[in-house]
Structure 1
């Protein structure tokens, strides 16, 4: 009986060790641009877990077994129009899927500009994104990853945030608080899946624009967050995935970004599917579209 109990205890410990780890992005009391209010974070599970009014941003870390680890890590930015985070659909499900390929999957629960607990709201998602990349880079040894193989993937509005990080990683949007902030916030590669890109073209996603800018729709900010106009030769190699029949975020968003990357001499790969609509995540029920993930893994291998 003691042997059985010991075996069960060992399995329990192993299972606990295999669970995800949630780490605050910021030390307690040092969250930039935070305003104290009575607002509470909301979690609503209706098929998809929707998180809104994020108060304390975090990273949720999923690590593969060391024997399977490739040394690569991908930070994941769920979409939701800058109103909510589709946290499992475009977040934790993606992280677990990456683990199956030996890749560390790290979900970023970033603050949303629709929250009342923020000032200078349009900067806050980028603040959290820069910090998340730096924090993961600072923990590379702890996470058994290569500090020079840290990429990002973003979906829809999360794709806008990812492309913002990929083009504004050197922009000073918060004051350093610890040694992690001395590290580069530049992703080594990025994947943008049905991303919001432009705020100035007719094919823009107005909902994301209005949510991010919160009425501050000046020409300067519209240009600043139209990321096709912010690409430089230092922008990371990029993979774009989109469906032609996407009526929510038109495929022209990806086309604009691809052209900008090409014009600046940045390595760019794009997969455009005829059907799939918007918000397909892993597309596991679509025999054709679900192959986009395999194309991503092939692309990542080509970057070595």
Structure 2
């Protein structure tokens, strides 16, 4: 009887040891998958598609958390093994990879939009180039409008932060920006470009009805024929040459600890770039995407005030 008992104990111990060993091997296999370049490349393409979505409500604020929740709900789309979310360490590893890739993609998007400003490229071409780098996803007018919005934000941001390494001030400024300018930006542009914003504003609105919507530089221009992709716009860091940068541009990494800042305290005189004496700087050279989040929030608040119902608000936002 004693020998039988010892044998059963030994069998149980061996079984437990085998299960622990098997679990360790499974966890290591999952970790190896997360560490592979192929997995990171596939995840990069999926996350790029997410950030190109015209329905995105924020690019920094809680974005990583929301995307992690979205990944959990669509494991098959992101090709994530189910066991990853069953282990705290593996989920943490995935979260860090997602955070790094989001920062990289944001930097790449900003770089591509800056190039498009410098080259005065049609926004549809820019959208198509970016879509090609995301496994050829389809884009439509909603994507073009979102890209146009991002580029308009970048116009203002580059002017406000005096970042003209790629696009000079005279290229960054167009009369179409005037409705978005506050008095601090008026003064800066008038002094540095020797122009009169009031005169330009009057001319802009006087001729608006007869303006040719297909003129060069119009962010909302839509050609009658399918546009060709300008190969000169292809940024190698976007993966268009079968390579993807995995290190984010640290100069464009958003402040994730305080994404919103206190930009909502800005007044009609101040765009937040410390162009007004005595005003605090809410936006600097490495907070472009925080600025975009702020502008999106203003847009949503404006729509919410005018919407008759929650359904109307959601319908308008999704356009």
Q: TM-score, normalised by structure 2?
A: 0.30
Give 1 or 2: higher strand fraction: 1
Asked which structure has the greater RCO (Cα within 8 Å, sep 6+), the reply is 2
Which structure shows the higher helix fraction?
2
> Structure 1-normalised TM-score?
0.31
